[in-house]
Structures are given as C-alpha cells and as structure tokens.
Chains A and B, each alone.
Chain A
Amino acid sequence: MASAELTGAEIVLKSLVDQGVKVVFGYPGGSVLPIYDAFFEQNKIKHVLVRHEQGAVHAAEGYARSTGKPGVVLVTSGPGATNAVTGLTDALMDSIPVICLTGQVPSHLIGTDAFQEADTVGITRPCTKHNYLVKDTADLARIMHDAFYVATNGRPGPVVVDLPKDIMINTGPYVGPKRAQHSSYKPQVKGNLAAIKEAVELIAGAKKPLFYTGGGVINSGPGASTLLREFVRQTSAPITSTLMGLGAFPSTDESFLGMVGMHGNYEANLAMAECDVMICVGARFDDRVTGRLDAFAKKSKKIHIDIDPSSINKNVPVDIPIVGDVGHVLEDMIKVWKSTARKLDKKANDSWWASIAKWREKDCLKYFQGKDIAKPQYVLETLQKAVDGKDAYVTTDVGQHQMWAAQYLKFQDPNRWMTSGGLGTMGYGLPAAIGVQMAHPKSPVVCVTGEASFMMNIQELSTAVQYRLPVKILLLNNRYMGMVRQWQELLHGNRYSESYMESLPDFAKVADAFGLDSLFADHPDQVENLIADMMACEGPVIAEVMIDQKENCFPMIPSGAAHYEMILGPNDDQPTVSAKGAALV
C-alpha cells in the first residue's frame, strides 16, 4: 500500500472539500459509519443532522436553489436510501443539482438480501439524472468528481453515489477534480447561431410577442436573469413566467404579466393564447401551463431555448428550437438584436399592450377580505409588505397556499423562491427552508405552508431548533387539504372524501414541545401584528393563521380545458368538466 493512499471514507471527504462543499445534510447508519467517523475528525464541512432522510434531500434542494451550488446528502443503506427517493424524484423533476451519497452493504454481501440491503442503484435509476455503484476504492475519487460534474452540468439534477462499506474502509489513490471533459456527457452550451439569427428575425417581425420563461433561467445563473431583463427591455415585449421561473424577472415590472398556467394570471394565459411569437426561455410546456394541448397557443410561432434536447418538441411542436444554456443563448441573441438594430413595430406593439391592458382590467387576483375571518390572500399580501426590500427567501409546501404564495408575493431576484413544482411534494417546505437558512444565516427565510403539508415533515422542527435556524413558518390553516377539497368541489360534487383534517394537533403546543416560539391569529385584525412579530422573531417560529376554510384558489384553468377558458372566481359559471378532463391530474 502506497503511503499516499487514503481510505474510501477519507477520499469521500477530501473530494467533497475539493468540490467546495460546505454543508452536508445527512443521517447516519451502519453502512456509513466509516464516513461519519471521517466527519468527526474534521471541521471543513458542517454536517446537519436531519430527522428523516427525505428532509435531508429537500434541505439540500433548498440549499442548492438558493445558492446555485449543488446540495449534498449523506444517508445510510436500505431504509436511508429509500427514504431519500421522494426527495431525489423532486430534484429530478425540478432540475436541482443534488449529490446523494448512500451507504451500501459490503460488496461481498450485495445480492444476498443482507441486513439493510436495498438495490439502491436499481431503485434510484429512474429518479436520478445518473447514479453510480462504486466497486473499487481506486475508482472512488474519479466517480465523486464525476458525480459533481454530471449533477451541475447540462440540465442539473440529482446524482446518487452508492458506497459499499468495504469500499469506504479499503484504501485507494486520491485524484483531484480534473478540468478535462467528461468522456461521454457533453451538453451543448452555446446555441446554434443560425437558429439564433432566425429567432431574432422572427421576434423583430412579431406583432404580439411574448416571453414565456421558466426555471431554466434560474438554473443558468444570475447572469441569465440579468440578460433576460435586458432583452425584455430591448424588445419591450411582455413576459410571463412559470411557477419555477418566478424571480428571474421582477414581478413588479410593468412588462410582467404574472405567473402563467393552471393558477396563473388571466392576462398571462390570454397572452399565451393570443401571442403570435412565443419566446420560451428555459421552460418546458408542462401540462400545468398548456392546459388542453390541442387548444394551446395555436396562433403563435414558437422559439424554444432549452439546454435539454429532450424538452424540445416533447409536448408542443416548436418552430425554432435552440439547444443551449439560457445565459449563453440570450447573450448571443441580444448581440444579434443590437447589431442589426432591430425594433418591434411600434403600432402593433401598442395595440398588443392595449389588449393586455384590457385583460388586466379583469383584476383576476382581486379578493374580498371580510370582517370575521382572514383570507389567505390578505395574509400573503401582508407578508409581502413585511418582506419588501428585505431580500427574503420563501419556500412553500404544496396546495392552495403554494399557489396563493406564487400569486400574491412579489419576486425581485432569482434564487429566492423555492417550491416543489414538478413533483408537487407536500412536506418540501420546512426542510427546504432549513437548507436555505443554512446557506443564508442572516436572511429572513419564510416557509409558507398548509396544516396538512406541514405535518408531512414536521419532525424537521427539531433540526431547526438544534442548529438555531430562525426559519419563519407561516402556517395557513384551513383545516382542509384545501387543494383536494377544491378539486372535489369542481369534479366530485362537493363530496369531501378524506380531505378534512380531523384531529389536528395544537400547533402552539407542537412548537412548545419542539422548543420554538409560536404565534397565532384567528381574526383578520391580528394578521398584521402576527406577521410583524414573526419577522421580529430571532429563533424559529410557527406563525399560525386560521384562514377561511372555504376559500378557493383562482383564477383556474379546470383540467381538460383550454388555457384561455379560465374560471376567475367562485361566482363564475362553474364549467362542467368533461369525462376526459376529469381523468387528468
């Protein structure tokens, strides 16, 4: 054995350090004890002990989305790995770079149904971007660096490295991260210039152009958001964003039409339907955006910028596909735009904006705050006032509260908004907030949640307390799985099958038991104070607001409907949803 050799566990640690990792979210167990031992003897990397492995992955996601750096997870074999699966799937759907190190039984026991053995690479193959089973300590360092490369290059995603225990104990050589190209994975970063020129031509000739932007802008880095702002200004075209893309463009800007999609703004969806040139930037024509496909945006030519070739023409055929990194492509587009001194047709543009102004007059987010019970919209508007100018980070869970947060909060910058978009994972919000707060200890981090979602990973309160992470949990309690109830009203004749939250705990007592503060409001008059107190809290806090149980989330494109057939409020004619539509999720 050469003296330069390290144990597998030391190699894992050293490669993490060399990759610039500062925090690992994890949970120990038999198969990863050698790695935990290596952690014990160092202080370069902080380990955050979560209370459930799903929480570890969501925390890593929160860390990644709020920093642009990969999040790192360490879990044990068997149940540790299977508990991480929901988080991994979540990260895959939302394109979040996560490296998940899983323990595995020693090599010679693999395949024998050994204690806490699971076929982790088999189970995680479809829910990771890539995964590795390390079979020789000599390959370990290379695989570790490969994992970081794959997770962060191209369309980001989760990568699992499965580590049999003997590989951690055996020794092998260490190699540093090499700059050399990966042998097979070489995502295209620069867009095809001819296609970019063609796109610029198309935009310049547009009478009703529209930017439709998504999480790809955020993933491309803050530079891409800056370029997007510049290009939108140059073209003076309106812009809308998916749930994932919020923050890439300031939502207070006149050009911003609000979020698009199932619970998007009326003006945004109508503009999608009516535009003649759609510039899709890092979005993927998800079913939550398109509504019924055969009725989607029929009047437009479409430009689609995406780093993942498989996103192109997947759901919606496009006219000019540009495969490449959003930032690089926008940079080139702006160059071409400027060098050819293009301008949109002023008259056409004015009348386009006039139509938009008409749609805006509907004021689709209006709501009525009565005297007796707080409306969720009001609570979120109050939160917005409180965080204005404070560089706050917001995470959410999944349900009505998530959509209200997307609709009523204002986003100024990328990487400030963390929500489970693709998978819609209840239980995401609290652990994600923990990850965000780890990365930004001084910034306000608010988790907007519902009582049902909150209970899915409520154990992470203990993590927040242990690491003194002052996450602010704004709990919008409607005593229902509100979003489920809303669908039951729309599709199942108000039969509230199993959507009422019976036997809810007293959340003040929960807070007390876990050792954090709590606040409570059950009247609209108390909301302002509650939010102010929540913002002033120095430690973690649960701020619970009893909201109107019957409030529903509007506007809404009912399932199976075209994206311009929106219900604007409870008094709108409730459409009869077709059998085909009812079959959709």
Chain B
Amino acid sequence: MDKMTERHTIGVLVDNEAGVLARVVGLFSGRGYNIDSLTVAVVDQNDDQSRITIVTTGTPQVIEQIKAQLGRLVPVHGVTDLTVEGPHVEREMALVKVAGSGETRVESLRIADIFRARVVDSTITSFVFEITGSTDKINSFVGLMRPLGLVDVSRTGVVAISRGDKPM
C-alpha cells in the first residue's frame, strides 16, 4: 500500500440472525479489506441484536468505504467509527498459559502482578493468567511471558465503547 494507512475501531449493531457474521466477514474478504480483530456477541436480548467490534487498517478512503459498505447491509442497524467519533474505551482480554519451574515460574508471577493479571488456573508446572487491557498492554505481557515458558495464548480481540452517556 503506497498511501498512509490508519487503524480504526468500528462498532456495528446488527440483527442477531443467521448469516449476519458471514455477511460482514464476506464483505471484508470479498473487497480485500483487512480485519485485525473481530468480536461479536449478543448485547440486547429483547431486540435480539448483536454488537460487532472490528479493528481494521486502511487508507482514509478505504475506511470510508468500509463504513459505507457495512451501513448498507440490510440487517445492520448502525455503524460507528469509534476512532473518529471521540474518546472511547478499548479493551481486550487474554488467557495466557505459561509453563515452567523455579525462578522463571516466580518471575512470571511477579510480572503478572505488575500487569494486574490474575491467576485463574495453576498446576505445579503451569499458570493460566487472565489479563485485561489495551491491545498494547496485552502484547507486552505476552512478549514478556515468551522467555518465561509461554505455551498458549487465547485472546478475545478488541471490544470498544464510546465514553460519556450517549449510545452509539
């Protein structure tokens, strides 16, 4: 890509119906857009709506296209570009499995403490840490765990919401 690309976090409110995720994902793959992360879950039981959070990178023109293309999908109720629409909170959760013994094991626990990661499973030879935070924070935590016996990582991808009292 020769032009400057930007990273955007986009929230999409959709009808929770069969195939809706395939429509969104198909749109990205069919038109060659990037998906850095994608999360989806039902957020409104009554109206049966799900919220999808997509993190994507592209030129400003591509980002505009992505939003317009999402907006015209029939089961989409709303699209919000959190990156441009003002202050927002982004969080990601990860479960990080580290195996080891002796000093490395103690060190992993110490770092987990600094990162406010919780131990959610433990054996004599392993820990599973639960950590929540920005993508950067999780990246650095995982990076630090690597030499200390990192075994597995499972990440949720980004969820995001705007600050203040307004809905999307």
Contact = CB atoms under 8 A, between A and B. Distances in A.
Interface of A: 121-122, 125-126, 129-131, 133, 135, 150, 154-155, 183-185, 308-310, 312-314, 317
Contacts of A155: 72
A514 B102 CA distance: 88
Contacts of B74: 129-130, 150, 184-185
Interface in B5-44: 15, 18-19, 22-23, 26, 30
Contacts of A185: 74
Contacts of B65: 310, 313-314
Contacts of B68: 308-310, 312, 314
Nearest to B77: A184
Nearest to B30: A126
B76 interface: yes
Nearest to A125: B26
B133 interface: no
A308 B72 contact: yes
A184 B22 contact: no
A163 B167 CA distance: 37
Given A126-B26, A126-B30, A133 B64 contact: no
A154 B74 CA distance: 11
B100 interface: no
Interface in B36-78: 61, 64-65, 68-69, 71-77
A310 B61 contact: no
A154 B72 contact: yes
Interface of B: 15, 18-19, 22-23, 26, 30, 61, 64-65, 68-69, 71-77
30 contacts: A121-B19, A125-B19, A125-B22, A126-B26, A126-B30, A129-B74, A130-B73, A130-B74, A131-B19, A133-B18, A133-B19, A135-B18, A150-B74, A154-B72, A155-B72, A183-B77, A184-B15, A184-B74, A184-B75, A184-B77, A308-B68, A308-B72, A309-B68, A310-B65, A310-B72, A312-B68, A313-B61, A313-B64, A314-B65, A314-B68
A310 B77 contact: no
B18 to A, nearest CB: 7
Nearest to A312: B68
Contacts of A121: 19
Given A310-B71, A314-B65, A122 B18 contact: no
Nearest to A133: B18
A126 B28 CA distance: 11
Contacts of B76: 184
A94 B69 CA distance: 17
Nearest to A149: B74
Nearest to B19: A121
A309 B73 CA distance: 12
Contact of A309 (B19, B26, B71, B75): B71
A552 B76 CA distance: 47
Nearest to A129: B74
A314 B18 CA distance: 29
B144 to A, nearest CB: 42
Contacts of A150: 74
Nearest to B66: A310
Nearest to B61: A313
Contacts of B15: 183-184
Contacts of A312: 68
Nearest to A311: B68
A582 B72 CA distance: 34
A125 B23 contact: yes
A125 B18 CA distance: 12
A184 B48 CA distance: 13
Given A184-B76, A310-B71, 5 more contacts: A126-B26, A135-B18, A183-B15, A184-B77, A185-B74
A183 B49 CA distance: 12
9 interchain residue pairs of minimum CB distance: A310-B68, A130-B74, A309-B68, A184-B77, A185-B74, A310-B69, A126-B30, A310-B72, A150-B74
Contacts of A184: 15, 74-77
B33 to A, nearest CB: 12
Chain B CB within 10 A, most for which of A130, A183, A310: A310
B79 to A, nearest CB: 10
A131 B77 CA distance: 17
A353 to B, nearest CB: 35
A302 to B, nearest CB: 15
A95 to B, nearest CB: 12
Contacts of B61: 313, 317
Nearest to A309: B68
A320 to B, nearest CB: 15
B15 to A, nearest CB: 6
Contacts of A131: 19
A527 B64 CA distance: 53
Contacts of A310: 65, 68-69, 71-72
